[in-house]
Amino acid sequence: MVKVLLIDDDVDLTTLLKEYLNEEGFEVSTAQDGRTAIAQAASNAVDIIVLDIMMPHMNGIDVLQRIRRSSTVPVLMLTAKGDDVDRIAGLNLGADDYVPKPCSPGELAARLKAILRRAGPSGAGTAQEVLRAGELVMYPGNRAAEWRGKPLELTGTEFSLLEVLARNAGQLVSKQEISRHAFGRPLTPFDRRIDVHLSSVRQKLGARGDGQSWIQSVRGQGYQLLQDR
């Protein structure tokens, strides 16, 4: 059973979401403040975290930053509707996705399942499949990657995005195509998720010898993983 840690100080909401997620087959524990949440995340075996931005004592951004120091557990942020600043900050710190509040329990459950599919074994290949693009080696079956002979630490979302580019190395891939293959849904207007996650991947890959990023963007069109010269 998938273990979910639900972090939100709204007791009525967490009760509602916990009941629904339990019916969907999740095992849910809750925390009402950031400090308690960090302790639970560190001491319990948690498969995924739902984290509200607005909480007392320590906000969700600070909690996420603390969690990311020692864990790559998938995190879904609950954000205020229309608050792009918090959304982008969360994605920059390694959140896998976000849902604006108020959200329906059904939408939350669907997003959790989608994140877990991305974080778990890929359905696109077997455990024996090896995907190579220059010095990048990816193992879609067990969601592992290596860069220049060393393990490359990626979140589930980052792995899915980089896998799409690696399968099309040297070619421009549209943001719509990236969204369909990595997220399983069309890209919506003003959605910055792809840009923010790939910015994080760029930092992890570092720069080429010529100073360029390994992942090039073409404004309004998409992204391309450059091949070795």
pLDDT tens by residue, 53-102: 888 778 899 999 998 888 888 899 998 766 678 788 888 888 888 888 88
- Kindly report the pTM of this predicted structure: 0.67
| Secondary-structure class of domain 3-119 per CATH | alpha beta
Per-residue pLDDT of 154-179, as tens digits, reads 888 888 899 999 999 999 999 999 98
Residues of the chain within CATH 3.40.50.2300 domain(s) are: 3-119
- Say which CATH architecture domain 131-225 belongs to: Orthogonal Bundle (1.10)
Ranges of H-type helices in the chain: 11-23, 34-43, 60-68, 84-92, 105-119, 156-167, 175-183, 193-205
